[in-house]
Structure 1
Amino acid sequence: MELETQKKFKPMLDQVVELFCRMSGTKSYEEAIAVLRPQFLDKSTSPAAWMHRIAREAYSTNERDTVDPTQYYEILGMIDTREKFSTVFASLPEEAVPEIEKFFKFLFKEFLPTHRLAAQELTKALPQRRTGGRKSKMPSEAICRKICAEIIGLHAKGVSKGDAQQRAAQKWKMSKRMIEKIWADRGKYVASV
């Protein structure tokens, strides 16, 4: 492949590699291949046949297969560094450029957007991760006004704000953190603070 053609495809290849790394949870092409490759070692449990079938269904072509799915482990070994991958890509014939362009167009305009939508739908169906305890509900505005007035009154009598907030928390049976939130928003509840 000519140098000018390689330059034209470089941004698209970089984007594919970046997506590949993000999907594999790695930071570099080499790390991604190192994570992926062992899954193809055992030919009887390799996901290669499934991946190949999905790719053929998604990107149908009248051409016969040029890649044997049972050889994925070996193929990944031949392109286990970004440099090797780039060398293999650069060795593709210039006559293949229209097919490569067609493939990238399909990948970026159809395949990835379709899978993004499917992933978003899946995400909506998954349960939320609980971070511990239920979210505390903010009391009504009237109660918040009373709490702020109480803290202001205690503070006017010489009680420190921290102690006044602690007393309000005990009286109203709320966490001190909730009282602190209410106090932080006191401008909403008290006209002249």
Structure 2
Amino acid sequence: MKVLGISGSMRKNGNTAQLIKVVLAQCKDAGIKTEFVSLAGKKILPCLGCGKCKEKKWCVIEADDWGGIAEKMLDCEVLVIGSPTYYYDVCGQLKNFIDRTYSLYHDRKLSGRKGIAVAVNASKGAERTVKTIEGFLNSHELSFLGEITGTGFEEGDVMRDEKALAHAKKVGDKVVRLLMPHHD
């Protein structure tokens, strides 16, 4: 069993990463294997729209970090994926990552997993960010387990958002119950 957290933020340990890690900590404390990946510092090129992935069954772009992270998604049971809110939507780095998963869409390679959407905004817009992530999860036929939104701008601000932290822990507990049904 594995829960994978992916933060699309360009801040390696920014608010999005920290909120995702709250969910992962709940799972890890229950004995569930977790992994965290930050897209910060990673090279994620945009989709070319070439359609060659339909034949190859994988993205033809190989000169970046997308493939290794995509492999981790294929190995997980639950995907916790998040973004800071930029102009009422996901950040560009995560959008590039999501667009490239079109290569996994043809054979429904992510189908059957579960997904959680995480969004952090400075003051507003997280709802739309969550909807974009939910659209990605639904398109790939992941069962949507919920969303977590938080507020913060400077690194660490979200850790003072008590409502977001409580909800992240609640969602983490939901994942634990799902993966370990007899867990007390």
Confirm or deny a common fold (TM above 0.5).
Answer: no
> Larger strand proportion, structure 1 or 2?
2
Between 1 and 2, higher relative CO (CA 8 Å, sep ≥ 6) is seen in: 2
Q: TM-score, normalised by structure 1?
A: 0.25
> Larger helix proportion, structure 1 or 2?
1
